[in-house]
Structure 1
Amino acid sequence: MEFQVIALVALVAVTLGSPENVPSYGYGPAPSSAPAKYDFSYTVNDPPSGNDFGHQEARDGPNTQGSYFVLLPDGRLQRVTYTVNGDSGYLAEVTYEGEAQYPSTPRPYTPAPHYA
């Protein structure tokens, strides 16, 4: 009998402790049904580190087009131009500019600067 009373009290406590109004976890207004439209680009050119790369993309509804490039360690510039039209998938064309250069002696390793 004592076990039944404890079980009943626990059940009542759990029932009363549950929140009545569970909040929705969507922050802000509901998403718009308008088709996506955007345009962005960025480039990085840092000669001391050898970094040279960038990306640009534009989208209007289901049609996306863009390109990105990177300076490869062998000195060539790799450029990828791509399109996505609806459900056609990602279609890319890869090109290389310049000739590959291989030094006769490797460059010595230079560690990155250390900041304390």
Structure 2
Amino acid sequence: MALKVYVLAALVAVTVADTIPYTPPRPSYTAPAPSGPAQYNFDWSVNNGNSGNNYGHNEGRNGYDTEGAYYVQLPDGRLQRVTYTVNGDSGFVAQVEYEGEAQYSAYQPSPSYRPTPSYA
């Protein structure tokens, strides 16, 4: 008899729990209000002659107007430079330029491959 009462109580508890909607707790943190238009500048670059890595990015923003440029050394030897502006009226506008001449090395098979000799 006690087992029947226990099972009945468990079923009632599950049924009641399913009818109560779950409300997640509200976050306690509120972000500070902006004090004025966004303003920032940054600049970074990498130039490593041993590995051939040469890339970087700079950007500046004052309110809604943003200007910047980034560049990367391409595998063919050229430097690709993208200069861009962003503002509320025209959106993102980019100009892409290449410096240097593309150079491709002649194909040379890998010397590490050698067929296994057969002893038949």
- Alignment TM-score > 0.5, same fold: yes
Instruction: State the match for 2:32 in structure 1.
Output: 30
The count of corresponding residues between Structure 1 and Structure 2 is 102
Give the one of 70, 74, 99 matched to 2:72. Answer: 70
Structure 1 residue matching 2:12: 3-state secondary structure: helix
Q: Report the CA distance shift for 1:106/1:50 in structure 2 as closer, same or farther (over 3 A).
A: farther
One-letter code of the match for 2:27? S
> Identity of aligned pairs, percent?
46
| Pair 1:80-2:82 in alignment | yes
What is the Cα deviation at residue 80 of structure 1? 0.3
Q: Report the CA distance shift for 1:107/1:90 in structure 2 as closer, same or farther (over 3 A).
A: farther
Name structure 1 gaps, 5 residues minimum: 109-116
Instruction: State the match for 1:111 in structure 2.
Output: none
**Counterparts of 2:98 and 2:106, CA distance in 1:** 22
One-letter code of the match for 2:39? K
Name structure 2 gaps, 5 residues minimum: 111-120
Q: TM-score if structure 1 supplies the norm length?
A: 0.69
What is the Cα deviation at residue 47 of structure 1? 1.4
What does 1:1-116 align with in structure 2 at a 5 Å threshold?
3=8, 7=12, 11=16, 22-26=25-29, 29-105=31-107
